[in-house]
């Protein structure tokens, strides 16, 4: 049987049943195409191919997250074929080798974040104030950069200081933001449906990350940062303040609590760093 015969079926399943965005589905199909390359799906050959595929991926200069994504995509597709009784006898133990250690995300402590925003305000780049507002929103709410940039004026509820967010898989959630920040948004151009725009066009994630990169090269900030750092720092700060992890999960829009739990390791790492730096008996025993 040909892989192409079931690719379209799986695509429809991802869209209709899993509610994934077209962009996510496209990336999944790209990963699957790399594995199958239009070859026949034969159980024995697939098991052998899985081992070879994993080995070759690890030989390449790829991030572990990219490798895990590719093989997870393949695993889910094969499970789908098995559920549909299209294929059987897949040895899923082959996939155990990819359940690797998740990289701990970079996070910044609250005091350092306050200093960081002070430094960012020294930037003379065009539209710097707008980019800083986006970064503040991410840090204050935990939004993904894509979620922040897709916000529309109609998504804001000024009565309870909340924002309706449309995240991965078109899932909607409600997050709350401090009133002082919403007041800052009032000074932005409202001629467009989107909140963050330049010349009537929605700004891109790349332009915000480019702003951070320029600030680093201009020595305005001391560390290379990405927009993800601000989301990670939100989650870690919440944990440091003893927020319930399931509440954090909802605020971040994670479908699985295990994804949120990685931030507990970040919080522990930060606590240890503070202890190592400021303990009164450091280097005295």
Which of the residues 70, 136, 144, 232 is marked catalytic? 144
Spell 169-208 as b/e; 16+ CB within 10 A means b: eeeeeebebeeeebeebeeeeeebebbbbeeeeebeeeeb
49 belongs to the catalytic site: no
Which of the residues 75, 228, 250, 265 is marked catalytic? 228
Rounded distance between C-alpha atoms, residue 171 and residue 87, angstroms: 31
Spell 56-68 as b/e; 16+ CB within 10 A means b: ebeeeeeeeeebb
Rounded distance between C-alpha atoms, residue 246 and residue 217, angstroms: 38
254 belongs to the catalytic site: yes
> What distance separates the 2 farthest-apart alpha carbons in the chain?
71
Question: Cβ distance 225 to 120 under 8 Å?
Answer: no
10 belongs to the catalytic site: no
168 belongs to the catalytic site: yes
Q: Provide the residue count of the chain.
A: 285
Which of the residues 168, 173, 250, 265 is marked catalytic? 168
Q: Which residues are catalytic?
A: 144, 168, 228, 231, 254, 263
């Amino acid at each position: 049987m040909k892989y192409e015969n079931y690719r379209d079926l799986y695509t429809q399943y991802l869209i209709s049943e899993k509610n994934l965005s077209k962009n996510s589905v496209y990336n999944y199909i790209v990963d699957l195409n790399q594995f199958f390359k239009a070859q026949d799906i034969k159980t024995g050959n697939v098991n052998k191919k899985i081992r070879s595929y994993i080995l070759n991926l690890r030989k390449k200069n790829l991030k572990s997250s990219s490798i895990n994504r590719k093989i997870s995509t393949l695993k889910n597709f094969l499970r789908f074929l098995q559920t549909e009784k299209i294929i059987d006898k897949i040895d899923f133990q082959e996939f155990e080798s990819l359940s690797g250690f998740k990289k701990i995300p970079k996070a910044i402590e609250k005091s350092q974040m306050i200093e960081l925003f002070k430094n960012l305000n020294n930037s003379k780049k065009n539209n710097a104030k707008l980019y800083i507002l986006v970064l503040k929103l991410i840090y204050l709410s935990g939004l993904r950069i894509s979620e922040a940039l897709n916000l529309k004026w109609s998504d804001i509820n000024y009565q309870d200081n909340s924002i309706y967010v449309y995240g991965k898989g078109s899932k909607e959630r409600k997050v709350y933001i401090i009133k002082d920040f919403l007041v800052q948004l009032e000074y932005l151009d409202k001629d467009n449906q989107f909140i963050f725009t330049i010349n009537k066009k929605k700004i891109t994630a790349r332009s915000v990350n480019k702003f951070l990169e320029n600030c680093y090269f201009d020595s305005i900030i001391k560390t290379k940062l990405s927009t993800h750092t601000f989301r990670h720092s939100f989650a870690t700060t919440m944990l440091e303040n003893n927020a319930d992890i399931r509440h954090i999960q909802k605020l971040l829009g994670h479908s699985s609590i295990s994804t949120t739990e990685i931030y507990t390791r970040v919080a522990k790492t930060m606590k240890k760093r503070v202890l190592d730096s400021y303990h009164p008996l450091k280097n005295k025993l």
